[in-house]
Chains A and B, each alone.
Chain A
Amino acid sequence: MGLAGVILLAACTGSSLAPETPARLIEADAASRAELQAVVAAAMGQATVQLADDALIDDGILLIERTPRTDHLGHRLPGRDLGAPRRFQLFRAGSDCILIEGGSDRRWVLEQARCAPL
């Protein structure tokens, strides 16, 4: 239930009126990583999502795709993927760190995160 609570609080916090500038995470600790994972997982309709330990730290962009699978012969499934990844980008608005999903423009304020403009 902790997961659902974090998701709802984060997802429904309104966005700031301050201008949004591309940003990256700084000093991501366990709490901020857990929050980021919960937010992205909820956005993807999943219980969990596998993120890099340094997600959003280098360039503030997060690309999410289906976890690669291989078949019984070790071939990637599907080896010809006709789809596309989902893209998230971190922005800073005032003191808020906001994660925005490309395409849908859905946004989440990351309460635990510290971020800096790129």
Chain B
Amino acid sequence: MPSGRFPERTRLLRRILISVAAAAVLAACGGGGGGSSTAPLPAPPSPPAVGSGGGGSSGSGSSSQPLQWTEGVFAPASTFAAQCETPRTGFDADGRRFPDRSGSLLHEKHWLRAFSHELYLWFDEIIDRDPALFASPADYFDVLKTEETLPTGRPKDNFHFAIPTDEWQQQSQSGVTAGYGARWVILSATVPRDVVVAFTEPGTPAATNGLIRGTRVLEVDGIDVVNAPSQADVAVINEAIFGPAPGSSHTFTLGLPDGSETIVTMTAGNFPSQPVQNVRHFVRAPGNVGYLTFNDHNAPAEQQLIDAIAALRDEGISDLILDLRYNGGGFLTIASQLAFMIAGSEATAGRAFETLRFSSKHPTRNPVTGESLDPIPFRSTTAGFSASPAGQPLPELGLSRLLVLTGANTCSASETIINSLRGIDLEVIQIGARTCGKPYGTYPTDNCGTTWFTTMFQGINDAGFGDYPDGFSPAGTTGIVGLTLPGCSVSDDFSQPLGDSREARLAAGLAFLETGNCPSAPADAAAGRARLGAGEREGEGEMPGPEWLRNRILLP
């Protein structure tokens, strides 16, 4: 369901009510916000340069001439912007009046065509098709991307997506999610299903009720999670595990890693995460080895990373094992700060953390912000995300190598840490499994109530490298192999806690640092470790968020 369809029109009344309330406050008390990386809403369009009115709509701003498609001929996207089949009224989240005016689905599709031609990273690989032949903007958007494949056979562009703008604009306290405080991994979504705990957040119902890494969910509210055959039962299970309403209680029969079973009742709530956990060091003959689990590039991570790195620095570590196996990215500023803290000021001085590369149409300027495409430096100071105040110097380790623990859920900003450090000749050793392969980014862009995610730029390191669309793979990886780094292919190990020296990936990392060799026994041979499944996430499992309820979680 790459872009899919959704009932956004049914939300129009609610959106209007929200907008009215927001407008009243802003008008009464002033101010305005910032902090968004979403591209600004388009300016109210000038009259179309080509005929309009096709698609069956009429009204202010539309002429009676049909929109014409001529292969290879593109009008500016602004020509079609905000001409909507169902225009929004009122104000957006930043207090700006929606620019929408009466248009048609054909206007919306022509905007997508022109927008993609202007900003899509691989604009010259889009096959130009007549938008009138597609039923909806979402259907048309699906083909406004490259159809090329990578040498491994995977699609070149796996990141084409759209969601309703009012959903995209929803805000949360940083790091807060609804649930019980457990992060689940699905090792098998079909019968016999297998859902295990990857880790828990301190102080949450999951933690206080004894759920630990590797705990399996056997029953929910009396329904057999492993074998329940009916769609209705699976729907109940999905909601209870992955999307419980705050305040709702559910009873779980759990299988603990030691083979025992327990029954607990947990009440869901909104709980903060602790993105940095298990900060510790291991005393080894060549030198102390630091370790930390880093699960999310969210705002609270800034202070937690500062505290962790300062503590490890004070322990005099000579190596660091950075556990990124469940880190899917987030704020790039956090990644830049952590890379700086690992490498230190001497190694990063005058070097680029990353440079954004847009399509060949935009070699010198960011086409969205208008800024010059200057290299982004390693950030050596606080940004004020959670550390206060901004501008304070960060602690630094000054290491010459880094060992990362990775898996299929290691993505985006996490991969940027690896690539940026490799760009300044820091040795990166990888233990685990292939990362997701997302060296790309976008400015999510609204038009007519939908926010469109089309790939706009690629991140390039100081050495000019950013081509890892199949991810980074440790040596010894089989199947789909990304850019190979020194290290060991080791399956995820749910039999031990994260940060425990017996956990397979950490154990392999510690051994590799000492001997330069991988463990001789396959790490997935032991009981309790990741069961192999089908597909490219073999042995890794999937880590859904609550929003996956509308996509896929457990299946009948």
Contact = CB atoms under 8 A, between A and B. Distances in A.
Given A64-B173, A65-B298, A72-B551, A78 B412 contact: yes
Contact of B93 (A8, A44, A72): A44
Nearest to B389: A102
B21 A52 contact: no
A74 interface: yes
A80 B547 contact: no
Contact of A11 (B28, B297, B440): B28
Given A71-B159, A76-B412, A79-B328, A62 B35 contact: no
B544 A74 contact: yes
B25 A42 contact: yes
Given A3-B21, A45-B95, A46-B18, A67 B271 contact: no
Interface string B254-281: 0000000000000001111000000000
Interface string A35-76: 000000111111111111111000001111111111111111
A104 interface: yes
B115 interface: no
A61 B388 contact: yes
A77 interface: yes
- Of B26, B93, B174, B542, most buried by chain A (CB within 10 Å of CB) is B174
A8 B548 CA distance: 35
Given A52-B272, A64-B172, A75-B436, A84 B35 contact: yes
Nearest to A76: B328
**Is the interface on chain B under 10, 10 to 19, 20 to 34, or 35 or more residues?**
35 or more
- Of B171, B270, B413, most buried by chain A (CB within 10 Å of CB) is B171
Interface stretch (B162-170, B310-318, B479-487): B162-170
A80 B93 contact: no
A28 B334 CA distance: 31
A62 B329 contact: no
B317 to A, nearest CB: 28
A41 B171 CA distance: 8
A4 interface: yes
Interface string B389-418: 000000000000000000001011100100
A102 B545 CA distance: 29
B29 to A, nearest CB: 5
Q: Which 7 pairs of residues, A with B, have the shortest CB-CB distance?
A: A79-B412, A79-B329, A83-B37, A45-B93, A63-B174, A50-B172, A76-B328
Interface of B: 1-2, 14, 17-18, 20-22, 24-26, 28-38, 91-95, 158-159, 161, 163, 167-178, 246, 269-272, 297-300, 328-333, 383-386, 388, 409, 411-413, 416, 436, 438, 440-444, 453, 459, 542-545, 547-548, 551
Interface of A: 3-4, 7-8, 11-12, 41-55, 61-87, 101-106
Given A63-B175, A64-B174, 4 more contacts: A45-B26, A66-B36, A75-B412, A81-B413
21 contacts: A42-B21, A47-B17, A49-B170, A51-B172, A53-B271, A64-B173, A69-B168, A75-B158, A78-B37, A78-B442, A79-B328, A80-B416, A80-B438, A81-B329, A83-B35, A83-B38, A84-B35, A84-B331, A85-B174, A101-B31, A104-B31
